[in-house]
Amino acid sequence: MSVAATVDVERTNELIKLFGEHQYADMRVERREAMRSVLFDLPRRSPLGWQCLYEHAPAFLREASEHATAEEIGAGMRTVGSRPYALQPFIFVCSYLGARQMRMLELGLSQGDPFPEERPENLTFIMDFWARMMSAYRSDDALLPRQAGGSLPILDEALVGELDERARPASEDDRTAIRRMAATLELLNFVLHGEQRDGIFGHGPYDLGGGAVLMCKEFNDLRNDYMPWAETRTRVPFPNVVVIQVARDVEVSCDMFGSMTVHPHEIDDRLERVVVLTNEGGSLRELGIDEVTGVQEAAADAQEELFLKAVEWDDRYKIEYGAPMFANHLKPFLDAAGLGDDAAQRLMDACKGTADRMVDDMLEVELPPIWGHMANPQGDFYWPMSA
């Protein structure tokens, strides 16, 4: 394999190492490599999804970049209620690197060995697109939360100020209704996305001074009709719901998956103000408490319907659903670039083609060996490109 002169091997490998080290550290915290499920075949659906994006993400992102640069897409994500959000850039990189690593292991390679199937231009494009997007997305100089003390700031000062002004004290009954809604939306998105934590996004903290911080918990993709199983009879009335909280004397930590943890876990005695919003075409609108209750009730009904669908899936589809699920991660970039429904359908068809080719063989392997490597890497988490 010869690496084209236009490929910046050193920079690409720096980004691969950075990304892999941070993914490994965040996985250690959540023990994501050990996840199991009764409903979904997590150990095999993810490698299928990775392969889908390994094969198709470079071409579709190149197509998107003809209409909007990585920087323009990243800057467009710097609001509340956005999709794509922090998880989608993570997914297209970890999918490409994960499928590549899996193939190197299948070939019996060791770190430093030439990879005869390397696609240098694709690998460099993916890493460069990600870095440029994240630089435009975050409102600091970091690419990843651990580089900035576990923070994920994406909002500019003006928007933080607007959210601070909108938040207000809430009664105990209203706080209870908001917590119930948030818990139900979290469960809905967990089932909708096949026990992947998609559509659940925490970011911040945004320092307000005097020990007070503003933090955002978002729920998006609530009206998905792209994944084959997603449409339900009962629909959540809004595509996104954003809970803004202002609290004092709390510790907030974010990771590269878009997850947020708050310590102490119960913060009711430290929560000063709250507001629930939805982003309607770029305009933020506050939801009244009756609407909050309506969202919770609709989400509960939709979640139950999705659960009843999933329990009927056979062993094959418990793997195969990874193809449309990972296509759903790439689609928001096509939407952001204004490519429309045709591109989204071409993406879905391409991923389904990958699944049709792979799933029968995957049924014969209970646990792909990539998980052993991720639990105990031999060398770097993701191996570098050979010069």
H/E stretch holding 358: helix 340-362
171: nearest Cα among 252, 274, 70: 274
CA 47, distance to chain mean position in Å, is 16
- Angle separating helix axes 120-137 and 87-106, nearest 10 degrees: 160
Amino acid at 148: A
Structure tokens belonging to residue 53: 């994006």
Structure tokens belonging to residue 16: 């691969």
User: pTM for this one?
Assistant: 0.95
Domain-wise residue ranges, the chain = 9-148+315-375, 157-310
**b/e per residue 135-152 (b: at least 16 CB within 10 A):** bbbbbeebbbbbeeebbb
Q: What is the residue-wise DSSP string for 166-189?
A: H-B---HHHHHHHHHHHHHHHHHH
CB-CB neighbours of 75 under 10 Å: 15
Structure tokens belonging to residue 108: 């019996």
Write out the chain's pLDDT in tens, 387 residues.
Answer: 445 557 899 999 999 999 999 999 999 876 544 456 778 999 999 999 999 999 999 999 999 999 999 999 999 999 999 999 999 999 999 999 999 999 999 999 999 999 999 999 999 999 999 999 999 999 999 999 999 999 999 999 999 999 999 999 999 999 999 999 999 999 999 999 999 999 999 999 999 999 999 999 999 999 999 999 999 999 999 999 999 999 999 999 999 999 999 999 999 999 999 999 999 999 999 999 999 999 999 999 999 999 999 999 999 999 999 999 999 999 999 999 999 999 999 999 999 999 999 999 999 988 899 999 999 998 999 999 997
